[in-house]
Amino acid sequence: MKVDKHLFQALAQFWNPAYSYFTFRKVDLVPTVEEYMALRQCSKVQV
Antiparallel, parallel or unpaired: β 21-24 and 15-16: antiparallel
Using one digit for the tens of pLDDT, what is the confidence trace for 20-45?
Answer: 778 877 777 776 767 777 777 765 54
Give the pLDDT score at 44.
56
Average pLDDT value for residue range 3-16: 82
- Binned at pLDDT 50, 70 and 90, residue 14 comes out as confident
Q: Residue 6 has what pLDDT?
A: 86
Cα(6)–Cα(21) distance, integer angstroms: 19
Region of 25 on the Ramachandran plot (φ > 0 left; ψ -120 to 50 alpha; else beta): left
pLDDT value of position 20: 77
**Cβ atoms 3, 43 nearer than 8 A:** no
> CB burial class (10 A; 0-12, 13-18, 19+) of residue 25?
exposed
